[in-house]
Amino acid sequence: MQRTSSKWLVMSTIIAYAAVIIALFMGFKAPAAVNVGTVQLQWAQRIIYFHVPVAWVFMLSFTVSFVASIVFLITKKRIWDLVALAGVELGLTFATAAVISGSIWARPAWNTWWTWDPRLTTMAITWLLYVAYFMLRGAVEEPERQARFAAVYSIFSYISVPITFFSIRLARTIHPLLVKGNDFGLAKGMRPAFFAGLIAFTLLYIVLLWHRLRVLQLASRVEALRARILEQEL
Amino acid sequence: MIKVQRLVKRFGYQYALRGVNLEVAAGETLVLFGPNGAGKTTLLRILATLSKPTGGQVYINGYALPRESGMVRRQIGLVTHKTLLYNRLTAVENLRFYGQIYGLTQLDERVKALLARVGLYRRREDQVRTFSRGMVQRLTIARALLHDPPILLLDEPDTGLDPQASDMLLHLLQEIGGARRTIIMTTHNLSRGLAIADKVGILANGKLSCENNSTALSEDTLRSRYQQITSEAA
Amino acid sequence: MSQFIRATYAIFWKALRTEWRSREIFSAMFVFALLAIIIFNFAFDLRVQNIRQVVPGVLWVSITFAGMLGLNRSFTVEKENDTLSGLLLAPVDRSALYFGKMAANFLFILSVAVIIVPLTTVFFNVNLVRADLLLVLLAGTFGFAAVGTLFSAITVNTRAQDILLPILLFPVVLPVIIAAVKLTAGLLEQLAVADLANWWRLLIVYDIIFLVIAFLTFEYIVEE
């Protein structure tokens, strides 16, 4: 059983990484943004083919964690705690990537690495919320209790994100908005690369989640076996 | 009255109880002996609905745990080596408070009568923090008996008491509980435990190793059996 | 239902009475809030041109930091003689414990806020003593206490609980603090009610959502 699943996993991993490389390559080949002034800024703008998919994936990942946390509290099945944990781990990783890529873009575009714009502020808070999630897990010894506490906190984190987002939305943002009403702010020629990026990074996310879950499950099995051995020695 | 079958409790990967069976008939007193960490407290906390079993069946007065916890809570009184009392409240206030959250009727009469029974009537308006250890212990028992439970669970009620106070405690238990109530008690004190027991059990390493009719049991036999079982487990 | 309310009320009343006898939590919160305001006063005194602009922030930071101290104690006191087990033994829904505790925490934090407001008025020479500000204090401390009570029940069972509570709580309650600061500032600047409607809506929606979720999840925190 382990054999076949790992064969599929290896194949999917190769496909996902290939898709990401192709998508990023398409990003380089896509037509330059016409509404951007200098050539340097036009190249900087190409970071959206990384920045947007990565930002989409971190939101997806926190959503996965939120749903898994609710399911865990209802069913008390350990696997859902592992899904929630993997979701936060990957979510935080991609969120960090989104922040860094955004910051790199902000430097030429806004002439600063960071500004307390609403979108960036929300991001910083989101990031802190999920860092706190790990601190909470680290502070609880017993696995079952750790899982319960983490699930409750993950629900709170997830719900406070949109509220925080809305709360600072009341102020104006300088962050570009891709979707305004029915408008889609991307020229026709840029769209294939853009959507290829979204699909490729989603694939990558699914594969990484799969990997992480497998490792977490193995780790918990090792832990169980070790406990059993220790017990026999007693 | 109390029926426990193949009860298992696991904390993470550590087993606290591994398949405990026991049965106590109405009005019987079961005394459990066992070294620290044997699972005595865990067992009583499960019977008291404070902890959920990992596996196995528990029936208390016909109600299944953990499904019918609400009904079971009305059937049991718990005394542990912690007082479960508020030091800043008076004796009357403590009992009234617990009476209110238990939803008891004719609370004032009940509280007065109980305080008289445990010999604290004269000190009823004094804060618990001014009480001696023995007085606190008597109030602890009054608290557990407040809702007139048919079952009493006593977790090392004599820990930290001098022999004199300990005698008084047992006396009080027999006087108030006596033939009527079903009691499960844990203790380290073999002779004192044997004196009030109808049945004795020895809990070691999460297993209940022996259950006997205690009337036929001498203290010496019990002591040697206790040593044998605990050394096997260790 | 009436038994539920009776138990909630008993837990609330018990918290008030024990606090009244020791005055531990309240005095610590009050002194801390006062100190915070004095320190802010020195920190901004020389540098900030228009002190009016920082007062709402100063007020809410002092209230929330002081509130944190009180919340930290909220469930610690139930550990002392394991009265938490005593409460959980009672045949009453666990949320009665949550609501009783939450009501007491809300009242403690609110009263610190109500006392600190006139003092801020004196120290910063900005008139904060007004009826509509009381509404902001009510709504702001309510949301804070709603989440804080739940989180304090979480952290009481963790290592390093005193350190962990602010780290968990602050990012979550941030929207409520932002809204409360904006409303306080708006009132100070005599903005029209319509201009503040969005912030009011946000604050109240937040209060309700978090009370409901805390109510729904509390059971999972205290079970074992």
CA distance A197 to chain C (A): 31
Q: Output the DSSP codes for C24-46.
A: HHHHHHHHHHHHHHHHHHHHHHT
* Pairing status of strand B199-204 against strand B63-65: unpaired
Tell me the H-state helices in chain C.
2-22, 24-45, 55-76, 83-89, 94-124, 131-155, 161-188, 193-222
Q: Averaging pLDDT over each range in A157-161, A221-225, C197-201, C215-219, which range is the top one?
A: C215-219
Least confident of B30-44, B154-168, B192-206, C36-50: B154-168
- Contact predicate A134/A95, CB 8 Å: no
Specify the DSSP class assigned to residue A138. Answer: H
Confidence band (pLDDT; 50, 70, 90) for A185? low
Chain centroid to CA A182: how far? Answer: 26
A36 against A67, higher pLDDT: A67
Mean pLDDT of chain B: 84
Mean pLDDT value across residues A8-13: 88
Reported confidence tier of residue C16, pLDDT bands at 50, 70, 90:
very high
Q: What is the pLDDT of residue B160?
A: 66
Domain ranges of chain C: 2-222
Q: pLDDT tens-digit profile of A78-95?
A: 999 999 999 999 999 999
The full length of chain A comes to 234
Tell me which chain C residues have a C-beta less than 8 angstroms from the C-beta of A149: 154, 157-158, 221
- Contacting chains of B (3 CB pairs or more, <8 Å) are A, C
Give the span between the Cα atoms of C82 and B80, in whole angstroms: 9
Cβ of C86 and B89 within 8 Å?
no
Q: How far is A231 from chain B (nearest CA, A)?
A: 8
Predicted local confidence at residue A146, as pLDDT: 93
pLDDT of residue A26: 85
Cis amide leading into C166 (omega within 30): no
Cα–Cα dist A10/A22, whole Å: 18
Q: What is the ipTM of this complex?
A: 0.91
Across A203-211, average pLDDT: 94
More confident residue, B190 or C27: C27
C48-52 CB contacts, 8 Å cutoff, 24+ apart: C51/C124, C51/C125, C51/C126, C52/C124, C52/C126, C52/C188
Over residues C153-179, the pLDDT tens digits come to 999 989 887 889 999 999 999 989 999
B185: β partners: B31, B154
Instruction: Tell me which residues of chain B, numbers 68 to 107, contact chain C at a CB-CB cutoff of 8 Å.
Output: 70-71, 73-74, 76, 78, 80, 82-89, 93, 97-98, 100-103
In the structure, what pLDDT confidence band is assigned to residue B157 with cuts at 50, 70 and 90? confident
* Between A150 and A141, residue with greater pLDDT: A150
Which DSSP category does C14 fall into?
H
Q: What's the domain count of chain B? A: 1
Report residue B36 as tokens.
């620290």
What does the angle CA C54 – CA C59 – CA C64 come to, to the nearest 5 degrees?
130
Distance CA C109, CA C142 (A): 9
Residue-by-residue DSSP string for B169-210: HHHHHHHHTTTTSEEEEE-S-HHHHHHH-SEEEEEETTEEEE
Supply the CATH number for residue B110's domain: 3.40.50.300
Confidence band of A183 (pLDDT split at 50, 70, 90): low
Amino acid at C87: L
pLDDT of residue A1: 43
Residue C183 has pLDDT above 90, yes or no: yes
**Does residue C94 surpass a pLDDT of 50?**
yes
Write down the pTM of the prediction: 0.90
Describe the strand order of the beta sheet including B29-33 as a list of residue ranges: B76-79, B151-155, B182-186, B29-33, B199-204, B207-213
Within 10 Å of residue B115's Cβ, how many Cβ atoms? 20
> pLDDT tens for residues B54-81?
888 999 988 988 888 888 999 899 988 8
Q: Tokens 């049945």 appear where?
A: B199
